[in-house]
Every structure is written in C-alpha cells, then in structure tokens.
C-alpha cells in the first residue's frame, strides 16, 4: 500500500532545504510554515528520527535570534497569525533547553496578553481588523495558549482558551445549517458584515477547517481535569453539519453549501483539514469510531481528487485556494464570487501541511521510517 505520509515528507525534504528562503516567503514569519512543520513534528514523534527534529530546528533558527527576538515579526501589529509558528518552539525548548526558545515563547505569550479583544473577550484577528473575530484566528492562537498554560503552569489561561472557542462559535454558527460563517464583526459596520448579525456572508471551507483543527489540537493538550464537554459538543455539531455538505467525491467545496453553483470547486486544503481533525478526534476518543469509515472515505477522496505523483516520485497537492480574507486594502467583500476568484494553486503549504498531518494519522510511519 502506498504510504502518502512518507512520500509527502520525502518530497518536502527534497524540494525545500530551508523553508524561509523559498521565494514565496522571502524570510517572512509566515504562519503556513508552521502548518507544515507540525506535520514534521508528528513524524518525529512517530519515528524519533533526528532528521525531523533537525529540519524543524533549522527552520526556526532562521527566525529565532539568541535574545529571543523573532526575525520578520512585529509585536505591535497584534496579528494573531504570528502566533502559529510558535507552536514548534515548545518542542525545541524541551529537546534543547536553549533559552532563546523560552524567550520567544514568552514574547508570543505576551502578545496574546496584550491583544485587543471584543467586549466578551475574543481576540481581534489583527489590529488592522478591529472588532473582528475570524475562524482562522482560533487555530493560530488557541492551541498555543493552551500549550503555554500547560507547560508553564498558568491554569487560568485554560478558561480563556475555552471561552475563545465558545464565543466564536456562538457568534458565527448558522442555526439552520450548523455551519460557521468565516468571520464576525462585533461593530457590525464592515462592508462584508450582515448589519443585523455581524457575520460574513458565506461558509468558506478552509475557515471551518481551521476551526476544526484548532478544536482538536486544543483538546489534545488540555489536562484531564479541565472540562472539555463544550469543545466536544462544538466539534460534533460542526462535523455533523459538514457531513451534510460533503460532495459525492467525499471531499468539500471551496464554498461549502454551494456545490451546484457555477465556478465553485472541490478544494484540497479544507478537505485535508477536516480529514485531519476527524482522524485526530477519533484517536483522542472525542468522537465515536463510527466516524472511522467517513474519515477513511474522505482521505481516499483527497488522494483521488487532489494528489498527483510526479515523474520524480514527488507529491503534488492540487487545487488549493491560495488565500482568502475579508476587507482590507483589497476591499474583499466575502461574496461567493470573491471566494471562487482567489488564485487556485498547487502545493500551498496550508493544504500541503494539513494533508501531511492527516496522512500521518491515517498512515502512521514505522519506527524504521
């Protein structure tokens, strides 16, 4: 049986010597690097092979300076995307005991302490997006805050983590479908926001993928004595809603509930994220094993729809939405036409990283590699 997890890892190592120096990044502290490296971290945990730890360390050492400052990072931007790569620093600090990693962790934690919030306590997505909560931001910030709280004994922060999910879910869930809108504007003044609810107009696949990954990664970190019922309920309800809009190909559309609308397309990153979240929830015992076949069908659908092996034996993941957001200088309006008009690319790291993470759960590596 073909092990796509191993092929995806081997491809990554052969294609990219040092991720930050790739032309797509130009040294930026870019959150999607973290999505890929979390897959490499899982490979390290499965095999204990030093090459995986070294790959993470070399990448992070490009950014993390000896005094704990981070190249390409701006504290004042109050950008929750900047937190994601910090998830890798817990592993590096544990393995190396180098103080620069602890200093960088403290810096990112301090950002979360100073992040502007909505009245009920949800983090803004960025300082330039005032009063706005995006589903993406839960993935960027919540698992990091949970791991910091557990690692450095700050139990009060765990209640904050849970309320971040609770408030976001309450504000973005559609009572009819059970799906979550991409974002919510507390002030209800953004051009993309519904003036009555504050929600954006559509169910964007990857945004719910981010949310589902965030939930399951956070649940995996929480201590046994921290109640998880609220998170489990959110996960189950959202998964049931997603099951209703899965395409006949067993994957998901860019705009989840508009599969029959011209221009919509089956999208790799959302499908991979949802697949990963399901597989991890089953592994954790968060959801019933009756979902096992659903997850396996989804993974097979991803392989059939999105995975191509090149002549060199490298893995390509096609049909990833490159980026999607709301507002900003480009005045992104959150319309259906907007979501289907963003560039569709191959091997986008948000999709590739999610596929790698899903593959490692569904096709674990042997100790022999």
Nearest Cα residue to 287 out of 353, 351, 212: 212
- Enter the pTM of the model: 0.97
The fraction of the chain above a pLDDT of 90, given in percent, is 95
pLDDT of 250 above 70: yes
Specify whether 217 is catalytic. Answer: no
Query: Range of 158's domain?
Result: 4-362
- Do the domain assignments include residue 66? yes
- Do the domain assignments include residue 367? no
CA distance 338 to 336: 5
- Do the domain assignments include residue 296? yes
Which CATH number characterizes residue 193's domain? Answer: 1.50.10.10
Catalytic residue among 136, 160, 185, 348: 136
- Do the domain assignments include residue 191? yes
- Do the domain assignments include residue 368? no
Q: What is the pLDDT of residue 369?
A: 41
Q: pLDDT tens digits for 158-216? A: 999 999 999 999 999 999 999 999 999 999 999 999 999 999 999 999 999 999 999 99
Terminal-residue alpha carbon distance, the chain: 15
Altogether, the residues listed in the chain come to a count of 369
The predicted model gives 224-239 an average pLDDT of: 97
- Do the domain assignments include residue 26? yes
CA distance 302 to 266: 10
- Do the domain assignments include residue 263? yes
Q: pLDDT tens digits for 90-112? A: 999 999 999 999 999 999 999 99
Q: pLDDT tens digits for 308-353? A: 999 999 999 999 999 999 998 999 999 999 999 999 999 999 999 9
- Do the domain assignments include residue 369? no
Q: In Å, what is the CA distance from 118 to each residue of 2, 160, 207, 293? A: 47, 13, 20, 40
What is the number of structural domains in the chain? 1
């Amino acid at each position: 049986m073909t092990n796509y997890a191993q092929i995806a890892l081997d491809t990554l190592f052969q294609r990219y010597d040092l991720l930050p120096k790739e032309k797509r990044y130009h040294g930026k502290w870019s959150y999607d690097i973290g999505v890929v490296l979390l897959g490499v971290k899982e490979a390290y945990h499965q095999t204990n092979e030093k090459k995986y730890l070294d790959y993470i360390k070399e990448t992070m050492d490009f950014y993390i300076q000896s005094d704990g400052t981070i190249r390409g990072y701006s504290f004042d931007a109050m950008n929750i995307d900047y937190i994601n790569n910090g998830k890798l620093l817990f592993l590096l600090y544990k393995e190396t005991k180098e103080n620069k990693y602890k200093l960088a962790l403290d810096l990112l934690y301090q950002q979360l302490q100073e992040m502007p919030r909505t009245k009920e306590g949800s983090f803004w997505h960025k300082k330039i997006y005032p009063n706005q909560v995006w589903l993406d931001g839960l993935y960027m910030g919540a698992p990091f805050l949970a791991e910091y709280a557990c690692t450095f004994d700050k139990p009060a922060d765990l209640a904050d983590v849970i309320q971040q999910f609770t408030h976001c879910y309450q504000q973005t869930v559609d009572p009819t479908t059970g799906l979550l809108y991409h974002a919510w504007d507390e002030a209800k003044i953004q051009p993309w926001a519904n003036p009555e609810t504050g929600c954006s107009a559509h169910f964007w696949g990857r945004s719910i993928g981010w949310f589902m990954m965030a939930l399951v990664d956070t649940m995996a970190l929480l201590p046994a004595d921290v109640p998880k019922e609220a998170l489990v309920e959110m996960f189950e309800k959202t998964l049931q809603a997603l099951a209703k809009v899965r395409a006949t190909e067993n994957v998901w559309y860019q705009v989840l509930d508009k599969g029959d609308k011209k221009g919509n397309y089956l999208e790799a990153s959302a499908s991979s994220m949802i697949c990963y979240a399901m597989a991890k929830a089953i592994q954790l015992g968060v959801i019933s094993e009756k979902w096992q076949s659903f997850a396996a069908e989804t993974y097979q659908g991803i392989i059939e729809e999105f995975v191509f092996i090149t002549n060199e034996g490298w893995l390509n993941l096609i049909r990833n939405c490159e980026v999607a957001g709301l507002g900003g200088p480009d005045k992104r309006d959150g319309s259906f036409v907007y979501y289907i008009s963003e560039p569709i690319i191959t091997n986008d790291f948000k999709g590739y990283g999610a596929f790698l993470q899903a593959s490692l759960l569904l096709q674990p590596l042997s100790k022999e590699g």
